[in-house]
Chain A
């Protein structure tokens, strides 16, 4: 049964008496308004409305009819009060009521406009109109104005201006509105621009309350992005924007009408069911609304999913249209200037677009590239490009999109966290490209999982984690800055983004419970295989996805004062790089649950666990040797190739720190075993290899004084810039050093036989035939070696963390040859450098040296002497040694 209200008597448009001028009717007798009758009529009307709403018919027609009934009530009150004043006046409906979309418990917004100055009689008139409305328990928003108020329209007061755009005369002298309408129409470009700016500011403030996303699990259908206020804002922008919005207005008309019809119907159910002006589609109300609207689905859960699917589609269309209008009204300041950027792309005011959409439709390799370029240019991707991709997406699968290494490289480059990445990934998601690249995301598209904490759909939560990482480039607080510093240190932050994209894909379907991390890891494996990542990158992504809940569990639920807790967690992550990525992943994951989940309390605990684990990994790792990790050792033994005997393998590993197994994959471990074969005193076995732009030198030799310093000196002599390195010495005197460096001066690139020259020099140095300090003496006096210190160096001696070693941590501005000079001082002081971790992060060198002297830790006097020597080197006073 259709119970949509169709009102005629007493309230419809026919009841409007445009000729009635209140000021002219002072002498006319009007029947008194019987308030009891009004209340009874209103109550009956509301019951009808509620019944219609509960049957799914509370949409536009019903609200228009309800507004008409309200018009009738207001007109009766105005007529009855008209004896109180002779003034010319007009009573208007504003806001949603002005637009005749008056919901059951909406505010009744009125403006009473007087021609002249308001006196006591007019005040009595106002009271006579408003008091009965209040007595009817209506929430009345009222503006009492004089015509003089409109002589100078304040374009900086957008709420009032916008309210005027919706003004609909109900009673009185309509002609009073004409000068107001004329002033509105006569707003010059400057006034309109200011009004548009103010409106956009209001939109941004409103969006901020909802974290800027439409994908709320319990959305406020009026105020949230994509809700009814967006539709009103869109209309205002189209009106204020003038002719340049003509095209937008026409193209958006149907979509706006459809979205509004849907939202009005849903809102009517919310009002009817809650008995108040409720606009939040809570989980409970989702069930009732989905049943009321007869959403498709076998059970309540499926019906709710269908309802929310429809809501998100509607909200996406609305927010998308508003975003376009905002961009047109206030184009974003692109980093790149408009114009052609290459053969295939051009930057236009609305964003980056394909130079030739027909060609682009056939070349999916351009699709990821356009998003990457948009991030670089700091502008959105244009509608033209998004439409082109969306319309042609069905013709290509993931393998087509990632067919070549160049395609995969584009994607990896896109995923590097930078400002704008979240917005571009959201565009990719909305146009379907992200799900085509990662079909694993399909199962979490608009996925709703109800719990007490999550505020957003699973896919939106996923994208918000990436926004959280992106925000670390411009940290808002000092506490957040320390996490930002970790992001700057990551070698390959794109793998963190990739892991975040995939971390919750296991929440699709029935497996979306507590074990979703395992399921996510299983699904992520297929994705990383498609991307053809290197083994270490693959391991990192899978590790992060599988363990994305581990750090929060330990940080928030375990006793961080217990060293065993930290040690176990350190063993889980294994390396500083994975620790850093997992820490940032945890931070972003917790923060993206809702705007209030990541409290300073949690942030502090997370940081504390990070620091304690980092210190354990870098300062305390020397005490545990490989045999103390039987599980890890068993894996290495089980996977050994035929040419390596178990005895040879275990003998090689016996004296190495347990950390070694975390640092190196099986292939590297077996290669190290082979390198160690047949080693004699004063010999070095080495391999020098190139990976992308990074060179890696692995040497195996037997320990001797100044060895580490001399090897570092050789690399420095050839102009190599050491980025990171590991040095390990077993109790039996076997040395394994691995250095990663860049060919800063192009020696390897420009000289075909250069690798041989370096390894020959190493042979001679280890054999003791070359005096490295003499070799470097000329270079160390050059300008390059005398860089000015930006930050005072920091030296820390630690005799607590390790049972066997004195650990020296050094943080200083990096400089060519620094590692050689530092390690030389160590040897000159009679210390053995047993273990070393070398890292360069930005312009900072961070070296952790594990030292002994005659097999024991350094005593205070020895530490003091070493410190003095190191400080001289770091201060540049002792560079020519």
Chain B
């Protein structure tokens, strides 16, 4: 199993979710986050006063995925989340050692 952590634009979260659902990816955790990568924010001017928008709002989607569909899921996230502009986000893949269902106490197959 892998933990796939995708940082995407807020307006792309529905498309990414839909793309993952077509792969029968069951659960996901969605978190509002702020940060920056190469897209270092910008300076906005309101009424002649500048203010920095250095930490940009993004959405973090966490999904735990079986090894055999990880590659498909990554590609699905990239396709759905891409606009081609700087600031489209990142996908990280981390190994998951074990996974349990709290209600039943059962361990998921790795």
Residues of chain A touching chain B, judged by Cβ–Cβ distance below 8 Å, are 556-561, 599-602, 604-605, 608, 611-612, 614-615, 794-796, 798, 809-811, 846
Contacts and interface: CB of A to CB of B under 8 A. Distances in A.
A811 B45 CA distance: 12
Among A556, A601, A604, find the residue whose CB has the most chain B CB atoms closer than 10 A. A601
A565 to B, nearest CB: 8
Contact of A601 (B12, B33, B47): B33
Interface in B43-78: 44-49, 53, 57
B40 interface: no
A664 to B, nearest CB: 25
A601 B34 contact: yes
Contact of B14 (A557, A604, A795): A557
Given A604-B57, A794-B47, A561 B32 contact: no
A558 B11 contact: yes
B57 A559 contact: no
A856 B57 CA distance: 38
Interface in B6-62: 9-12, 14, 32-34, 44-49, 53, 57
Contact of A605 (B10, B45, B46, B48): B10
Contacts of B10: 556-557, 605
6 closest A-B pairs by beta carbon, nearest first, are A794-B48, A601-B32, A796-B48, A559-B11, A611-B46, A811-B48
Contacts of B33: 601
A605 B32 CA distance: 11
A559 B83 contact: yes
A156 to B, nearest CB: 42
A160 B73 CA distance: 59
B10 to A, nearest CB: 6
Contacts of B57: 601, 604-605
Given A559-B12, A605-B57, 19 more contacts: A557-B11, A557-B14, A559-B9, A559-B11, A561-B85, A561-B87, A599-B32, A601-B32, A601-B33, A601-B34, A604-B53, A608-B53, A612-B44, A614-B46, A794-B47, A794-B48, A794-B49, A795-B48, A796-B45
B32 A602 contact: yes
A558, A559, A600, A810 pick with most chain B CB within 10 angstroms: A559
A811 B85 contact: no
Interface residues on B, range: 10 to 19
Contacts of B47: 794, 809, 811, 846
A872 B67 CA distance: 70
A809 B44 contact: no
A164 B73 CA distance: 63
A618 to B, nearest CB: 9
A622 B57 CA distance: 31
Given A811-B48, A846-B47, A604 B34 contact: yes
A614 B48 CA distance: 12
Nearest to A810: B48
A559 B11 CA distance: 5
A602 B45 CA distance: 20
13 contacts: A556-B10, A561-B85, A604-B53, A608-B53, A611-B44, A611-B46, A615-B45, A794-B48, A795-B48, A796-B48, A798-B45, A809-B47, A811-B48
A795 B33 CA distance: 35
A604 B10 CA distance: 12
A848 to B, nearest CB: 10
Contacts, number: 46
A558 B14 CA distance: 11
Contacts of A599: 32
A193 B40 CA distance: 58
B99 to A, nearest CB: 24
A725 to B, nearest CB: 17
A748 B14 CA distance: 59
Nearest to B33: A601
A612 B12 CA distance: 20
A557 B45 CA distance: 23
Contact of B44 (A605, A608, A794, A798): A608
Contacts of A614: 46
A244 B65 CA distance: 68
B8 to A, nearest CB: 11
Contact of B48 (A557, A611, A809): A809
Nearest to B34: A601
Nearest to A808: B48
Contacts of A608: 44, 53
A857 B10 CA distance: 36
Contacts of A809: 47-48
Count chain A CB atoms within 10 A of each CB in B48, B49, B53 and give the residue with the most. B48
A612 B44 CA distance: 8
Nearest to B86: A561
Nearest to B83: A559
A809 B44 CA distance: 14
B22 to A, nearest CB: 20
A615 B48 CA distance: 10
Contacts of A556: 10
A559 B87 CA distance: 11
A558 B83 CA distance: 12
A602 B57 CA distance: 8
A797 to B, nearest CB: 10
Contacts of A611: 44, 46
Task: From B9, B32, B53, name the one whose CB has the most chain A CB atoms within 10 angstroms.
Answer: B32
A557 B14 CA distance: 9
Contacts of B85: 561
Nearest to B13: A557
A442 B57 CA distance: 39
Nearest to B10: A556
Nearest to A558: B11
Contacts of A798: 45
A140 B33 CA distance: 43
A809 B50 CA distance: 13
A349 B10 CA distance: 52
A600 B33 CA distance: 10
A602 B10 CA distance: 10
A147 to B, nearest CB: 49
A571 B34 CA distance: 29
A615 B11 contact: no
Nearest to B87: A561
A205 to B, nearest CB: 28
B59 to A, nearest CB: 9
Nearest to B48: A794
A620 to B, nearest CB: 13
B24 to A, nearest CB: 23
A809 B46 CA distance: 10
A808 to B, nearest CB: 10
B14 A615 contact: no
Contacts of A811: 47-49
